[in-house]
Amino acid sequence: MLELLKLLQDGRFHSGEALGAQLGISRSAVWKQLQGLEAEFGVEVFKVPGRGYRLASPMVLLDVERISRSAPGLHWPILVRSSVDSTNAEIFRRLDAGTPAPFVLMAERQTAGRGRRGRVWASPFAENLYCSLVLRVDGGMSQVEALSLTVGLAVARALQACGVEGARLKWPNDVLVDGRKISGILLELAGDPADVCHVVIGIGINVNMAFDVPGVIDQPWTSVRQCLGRAIDRNDLAAELLLQLHDCLSVHWQHGFAGLREQWEALHAWRGRSVALTAGSNATLGVVLGVDERGAIRLNVDGVDRAFSGGELSLRLQQ
């Protein structure tokens, strides 16, 4: 079905006969695949007697060759799949099957996309960017300290390079524009955290999504399309994201988050804001001072500068 979709992505009319000839299948097989596109992926196809078939609107699919050409010098193999449960989960399966790290996996959609703390990540077909990068880490957990902040900086830079100038960072792993979430990051580990392990960096970016996904999104959100007033080519953003990841991770491996802290702080969305930091049922109220060299959030709590870090912490603005 994906090959058929590639033929239709220009948004023009194509006859069933021509599509069948290009794919080497019958017209009835083309019809069945069109029905599959609508049923499985939610792709709307117009059918006009005498003219053929076309998509309701043009669509640009992810293209490994285009992404690779736009990100020269990278040595991360790139895989693109039409549909997975989650890109992180697919990475783990491939690691178990013996695929060597590093490599990148992107998908046109996720059927069970995940965010931090088990939240669902809305993943409609061919609208956003769902990307995971897996890296081998030698030397234990200290190597991944504050890594989510480093990745967030790379995402914000990529968004800015594509025209979203208002991209800002929320500790520990979100990217916001005008207080609305445009991207989230999910890091997961596999292997021995005291020795050799793999870190899977999952990134979701709202790119061309224009409408809410009922029952899925439970917080204010935005997309690149909403910010710019137009859709963009996700291949360009994917290439820019990989380049920024490579640059930021190179600094992180050499100097730790300390080498990127000032750049992260320059994009800090909530510095000076009153917040509630929650861990389970406990909440600490304070004013955001910044982050330290290890990536911990610094709060002024009753006149005392305190630092907090941990995977289960959540930060919320106080009204």
The domains of the chain, with CATH numbers, are 2-55 (1.10.10.10), 64-266 (3.30.930.10), 274-317 (2.30.30.100)
Find the distance separating the first CA and the last CA of the chain, reported in whole Å: 49
Kindly name the residue from 157, 168, 181, 234 that is annotated as catalytic: 181
Residue-level pLDDT at 170: 96
According to DSSP, the residues that pair with 12 across neighbouring strands are none
Helix (H) or strand (E) holding 128: none
> Is residue 12 annotated as part of the catalytic site, yes or no?
no
Average pLDDT, the chain: 91
> Is residue 116 annotated as part of the catalytic site, yes or no?
yes
Kindly name the residue from 116, 168, 234, 298 that is annotated as catalytic: 116
Residue-level pLDDT at 114: 73
Q: What is the pLDDT of residues 167-184, one digit of tens each?
A: 999 999 999 999 999 999
With bands split at pLDDT 50, 70 and 90, how would you rate the model's confidence at 39? confident
Residue-level pLDDT at 217: 67
> Is residue 181 annotated as part of the catalytic site, yes or no?
yes
Burial of 104: CB neighbours in 10 Å, binned 0-12, 13-18, 19+: buried
Closest CA to 37 of 83, 71, 95: 83
Q: Which residues are annotated as a binding site for biotin?
A: 86-88, 110, 114-116, 181
With bands split at pLDDT 50, 70 and 90, how would you rate the model's confidence at 191? confident
Higher pLDDT, 36 or 206: 206
Would strands 174-177 and 167-170 be described as parallel, antiparallel, or unpaired? antiparallel
Residue-level pLDDT at 288: 96
Judge contact between 273 and 179, C-beta under 8 A: no
Q: What is the pLDDT of residues 52-90, one digit of tens each?
A: 899 888 889 999 999 999 998 898 999 999 999 999 999
Would strands 52-55 and 45-48 be described as parallel, antiparallel, or unpaired? antiparallel
Helix (H, G, I), strand (E, B) or coil at 202: strand
Distance CA 160, CA 165 (A): 5
pLDDT at 92 over 70: yes
Higher pLDDT, 215 or 307: 307
Strand order of the β-sheet with 129-138 is 78-81, 103-107, 129-138, 196-205, 180-191, 174-177, 167-170
Burial of 121: CB neighbours in 10 Å, binned 0-12, 13-18, 19+: buried
Judge contact between 278 and 313, C-beta under 8 A: yes
Q: What Rg value do the Cα atoms of the chain yield, rounded?
A: 21
3-state helix, strand, coil in the chain (%, to 5): 35, 30, 40
Would strands 78-81 and 103-107 be described as parallel, antiparallel, or unpaired? parallel
With bands split at pLDDT 50, 70 and 90, how would you rate the model's confidence at 319? low
Distant-in-sequence, close-in-space partners of 24: CB < 8 Å, separation ≥ 6 = none
